[in-house]
Amino acid sequence: MAVKSFSFIVLGAGVFGASTALALVQSDPSKSIVLIDRKIPHRQGASWDWTKVIRADYTDIVYARLALEAKDIWRNNPLYSENYHETGLVWVDESGFSKAVTQNYSVLGAEEKWQMVSVKDLKASYGGIFSEAEFGKFQNIYLNESSGWVEAGKALTAVIQAAASAGVQLIESEASNLMFDDEGRCVGVQSVDGQVFSAEKIILATGAETAKMLVTSAPDVPQLHAVGRLSAAGLVTGVLDLDPDEAIRHQGTPVFLHAGGEAQGDLQDAFIVAIY
pLDDT tens, residue by residue, 39-57: 999 888 888 888 999 999 9
Q: Collapse the DSSP code of 61 into the 3-class scheme (helix H, G, I; strand E, B; otherwise coil) and give the result.
A: helix
Provide the pairing of β-strand 270-272 with 255-258.
antiparallel
Beta bridge partners of 272: 256
Segment 252-268 mean pLDDT: 71
pLDDT of residue 240: 85
Question: Is 60 exceeded by the pLDDT of residue 255?
Answer: yes
pLDDT exceeds cutoff 80 at 13: yes
Confidence of residue 261 (pLDDT cuts 50, 70, 90): low
Confidence band (pLDDT; 50, 70, 90) for 153?
Answer: very high
pLDDT score of 276: 46
The DSSP secondary-structure symbol of 16 reads H
For the segment 205-215, the average pLDDT, to the nearest whole number, is 94
| pLDDT at res. 196 | 96
Closest to 83 (Cα-Cα) out of 156, 17, 166, 15: 156
Mean predicted confidence (pLDDT) in 56-85:
97
Q: Is the pLDDT at 262 greater than 90, yes or no?
A: no
Q: Is the pLDDT of residue 273 over 70?
A: no
Please report the pLDDT score of residue 46 as a whole number: 85
Helix axes 97-108, 61-76, angle to 10 degrees: 70
Residue pair 151/51 in contact (Cβ under 8 Å)? The answer is yes
Residue 26 identity: Q
Write phi, then psi, for 180 (nearest 5 degrees).
Answer: -125, 150
- The arithmetic mean of pLDDT across residues 69-75, rounded, is 97
pLDDT at 271 over 60: no
Least confident of 23-37, 109-123, 246-260: 246-260
68: closest CA among 108, 99, 107?
A: 108
Amino acid 236: pLDDT: 77
- pTM equals 0.89
pLDDT at 264: 54
Rounded mean pLDDT of the chain? 91
